[in-house]
């Protein structure tokens, strides 16, 4: 993107995801996009910090369809007097297969791999003992 590109403005969108009540929702709103590419929106549904939501642009012409894009929710403000929560969004990007091959899915995995191996050895030893009892 070059520095002359300006996406600032307000866009009609459809937002979907899971609220704090663990219920799926879909709601129309406006996405405010500033010159420094910060994206903010206001929703009637309460969403937790770090939640993943999907945003789809509502086009003015019915023949245009857009694909939902995943965003992570940040800086959730308390509900205002109009019953709206303001939040900031950051777009999530898929990882390539190469990135997935080299990375570990969670830190828990690397910390618990040794204990998992010990547990597997213990189960195997118990199975051997059961087989020899008969």
pLDDT in the model for residue 64: 75
CB 26 within 8 A of CB 76: no
d(CA 18, CA 129): 49
CA of residue 109 relative to chain centroid, distance: 21
How many beta carbons lie within 10 A of that of residue 89, not counting itself? 22
CB 91 within 8 A of CB 73: no
d(CA 79, CA 88): 14
**Residues of the chain predicted below pLDDT 50:** 1-6, 106-113, 123-124, 126-134
pLDDT in the model for residue 128: 45
pLDDT in the model for residue 93: 85
d(CA 102, CA 7): 35
Whole-prediction pTM: 0.63
Query: Which H/E stretch holds residue 14?
Result: strand 9-18
pLDDT in the model for residue 131: 45
pLDDT in the model for residue 78: 93
User: Tokens representing 35?
Assistant: 């010159």
d(CA 127, CA 133): 10
């Amino acid at each position: 993107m070059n520095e002359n590109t300006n996406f600032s403005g307000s866009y009609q969108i459809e937002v979907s995801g899971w609220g704090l009540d663990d219920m799926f929702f879909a709601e129309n709103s406006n996405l405010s996009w500033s010159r420094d590419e910060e994206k903010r929106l206001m929703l009637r549904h309460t969403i937790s910090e770090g939640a993943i939501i999907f945003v789809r642009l509502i086009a003015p012409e019915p023949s245009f369809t857009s694909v939902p894009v995943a965003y992570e929710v940040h800086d959730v403000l308390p509900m205002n007097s109009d019953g709206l929560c303001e939040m900031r969004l950051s777009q999530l990007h898929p990882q390539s297969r190469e990135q997935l091959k080299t990375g570990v899915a969670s830190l828990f995995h690397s910390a618990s791999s040794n204990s998992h191996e010990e547990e597997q050895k213990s189960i195997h030893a118990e199975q051997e003992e059961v087989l020899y009892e008969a």
